[in-house]
Structure 1
Amino acid sequence: MTRDEAEFGLTEAGQADDDAFPLLEAAIACAIHDYPFRDPEPVRVLAAHAAERLAERITGETPDDALAETMSGDLRLNGDLINYDHPGNTDVIDVAERRRGLSAALSIFYLDAARRAGIKAQGVDFPGHFLLRVETPDGPVALDPFSQGRLVLPSELTRRALRAGLTPHVADRLDVLMAPVSDREALIRLQNVLFSRAIRMGDYEGAERSAVRRALLDPEDHRPWLDVAAAREKQGALAGALEALSRARTLDDPTEARRRISVDRVRLQLN
Structure 2
Amino acid sequence: MALPIDTAPPTPLAYFASLVRDDDHVPLLEAAVSIAQDEYPDLDVQQVLGDMDQLLERVRRRCAGDAGALQRLRVLNQFFFHDLGFGGNVNNYYDPDNSHLNVVLRTRRGIPITLGVLWLELAEGLGLKARGVNFPGHFMVKINLPDGQVVIDPFTGQSLSREDLSERLEPYKRRQGLVDDYDVPVGLYLQAAPPREILARMLRNLKEIHRSQADWLRLIAVLDRLLILLPDAWDEYRDRGLAWAEMGEARLAVEDLDRYVTHTDNAQDREAMAQRLAELRQALN
Question: TM-score w.r.t. structure 2 length?
Answer: 0.82
Name stretches of at least 5 consecutive residues in structure 1 with no aligned partner: none
Once the two structures are overlaid, the 10-residue window that deviates more, 169-178 or 70-79, is: 169-178
Distance 2:77 2:198 in 1: 18
Q: Which residue of 1 aligns with 2:171?
A: 163
Task: Report the number of matched residues.
Answer: 267
One-letter amino acid of the structure 1 residue matched with residue 89 of structure 2? D
Offset, 1:236: 2.3
Q: Which residue of 2 aligns with 1:37?
A: 42
Q: Alignment partner for residue 139 of structure 1, among 131, 148, 155?
A: 148
Once the two structures are overlaid, the 10-residue window that deviates more, 110-119 or 253-262, is: 253-262
One-letter amino acid of the structure 2 residue matched with residue 174 of structure 1? V
1:1-271 matches, within 5 Å, as 5-17=11-23, 19-56=24-61, 57=63, 59-60=66-67, 62=70, 63-147=72-156, 149-166=157-174, 167-168=178-179, 173-246=185-258, 248=260, 253-255=264-266, 258-259=269-270, 261-271=272-282
One-letter amino acid of the structure 2 residue matched with residue 27 of structure 1? A
For the Cα contact (< 8 Å) 1:54–1:66, is it kept in 2? Answer: yes
**1:2-55 deviation digits (Å, cap 9, x = unpaired):** 9962101111123112x3111111112211023312343552133212332444
Question: Aligned in 2, Cα 1:135/1:255: closer, same or farther, shift over 3 Å?
Answer: same
For the Cα contact (< 8 Å) 2:113–2:202, is it kept in 1? Answer: yes
Distance 1:154 1:179 in 2: 14
Distance 1:136 1:171 in 2: 28
Distance 1:267 1:34 in 2: 34
SS at match of 1:155: helix
- Compare CA radii of gyration and give the structure with the larger one: 2
Q: Which has the higher contact order (CA 8 A, sep 6+)?
A: 1
Name stretches of at least 5 consecutive residues in structure 2 with no aligned partner: 1-7
Question: TM-score w.r.t. structure 1 length?
Answer: 0.86
Question: Aligned in 2, Cα 1:21/1:228: closer, same or farther, shift over 3 Å?
Answer: same
SS at match of 1:140: strand
For the Cα contact (< 8 Å) 1:89–1:95, is it kept in 2? Answer: yes
One-letter amino acid of the structure 1 residue matched with residue 110 of structure 2? G
SS at match of 1:160: helix
Question: Aligned in 2, Cα 1:230/1:172: closer, same or farther, shift over 3 Å?
Answer: same
Instruction: State percent identity of aligned pairs.
Output: 26
One-letter amino acid of the structure 2 residue matched with residue 268 of structure 1? E
**1:158-192 deviation digits (Å, cap 9, x = unpaired):** 11111334434577622122122111211111111
Question: Aligned in 2, Cα 1:50/1:231: closer, same or farther, shift over 3 Å?
Answer: same
Offset, 1:241: 1.5
Offset, 1:129: 1.0
**1:43-87 deviation digits (Å, cap 9, x = unpaired):** 213321233244443753515424322322343221112222233
Distance 1:29 1:9 in 2: 8
Question: Aligned in 2, Cα 1:66/1:184: closer, same or farther, shift over 3 Å?
Answer: farther
SS at match of 2:94: coil
Offset, 1:232: 1.6
SS at match of 1:196: helix
Once the two structures are overlaid, the 10-residue window that deviates more, 159-168 or 89-98, is: 159-168
Once the two structures are overlaid, the 10-residue window that deviates more, 102-111 or 158-167, is: 158-167
